[in-house]
Structure 1
């Protein structure tokens, strides 16, 4: 599917789903629930306490380019303040420090390859299906070379350029 066709389809999508174009394929995700929102707020607080200078954008669509053009709606984007000014709905990922994805309760693999192809240095996947966090970093050739996973409750050190330590005990409150 071409990005222009996707954008037209996405404008008319019902409010009960979120559409993305990943790897040239249309993906449909359920809308976010309350626990999902609490996880994003938890992460926002962690980021603001440790590194207030970048912003954690909870709504920022990105044009993921590379071998396959795409459109992604990450659950969060950590970036310096101001990189999306004047870019319109689907922003270029240049300057993004980290993308965040929170899966639904049934888990999911996320979009790490799309973010790696776009050159995003760190991708954080919070998997509610397995109660784990995966920290993808060091993108090369469409994937991340580093991908450690941690159980909820662990202290998780996010690598540069993010350089934040997540205290994840509270995530246990948002399972199921």
Structure 2
């Protein structure tokens, strides 16, 4: 007699998350076992994203595809379900064409960098999302921290965190390594 696999708490949590009906403009994520619902971002948040994208598209060593608010399904932590996060910006080399026919929650294969601009829950961007991106082996995580007035680049992902962290205050340039290969000007992000 075949046994049905047991439904775990992680399975139930993931099914509940994926079944949520979220109104337009609201974002829902599943991060380290917690369902997080956030309102639409305010103007200065989006202004920072726009300024970042503009610089990346103008100055990157390779042509980049950009997606704002693309769902990523990332490796799980222990017994928890896979993380389902929505970075503010996801960058990938055009040649990889990772967004073509991608499902709503796509894997992170081919992503060169994700970026977050802090909002009302800055600590989540600083810790849980950072760890999630590292577990997924996303090469670069850029955090524009409006509260601390810093821009921080996390690189060299490990098992549960990034090994290298470089932070500058707003107004100082920050070098983005290959495939970007340029100095990000941060004065415009104030």
Distance 1:58 1:164 in 2: 21
Distance 2:189 2:139 in 1: 24
2:108 equivalent among 72, 80, 93:
93
Distance 1:92 1:131 in 2: 31
Give the deviation of 1:4 after TM superposition. 3.0
Asked if 1:123 corresponds to 2:132, the answer is: no
Name 1:114's counterpart in structure 2: 132
Q: What per-residue deviation string (whole Å, max 9, x for no partner) do you get for residues 19-60 of structure 1?
A: 110112112323211111111110111011112611121131
Give the deviation of 1:134 after TM superposition. 1.1
Give the deviation of 1:70 after TM superposition. 1.2
Name 2:19's counterpart in structure 1: 8
TM-score, normalised via structure 1 length: 0.88
Structure of larger gyration radius:
2
User: Mean Cα displacement is larger for which, 105-114 or 140-149?
Assistant: 105-114
| Gap runs ≥5 in structure 2 | 1-9
Name 1:65's counterpart in structure 2: 75
Q: What per-residue deviation string (whole Å, max 9, x for no partner) do you get for residues 108-167 of structure 1?
A: 341100000011000001111111111100001110001121110000001234323101
Distance 1:24 1:88 in 2: 21
Q: How many aligned residue pairs are there?
A: 170
4+ runs deviating over 4 angstroms: none
TM-score, normalised via structure 2 length: 0.82
Check the 8 A contact 1:105/1:129 in 2, yes or no: no
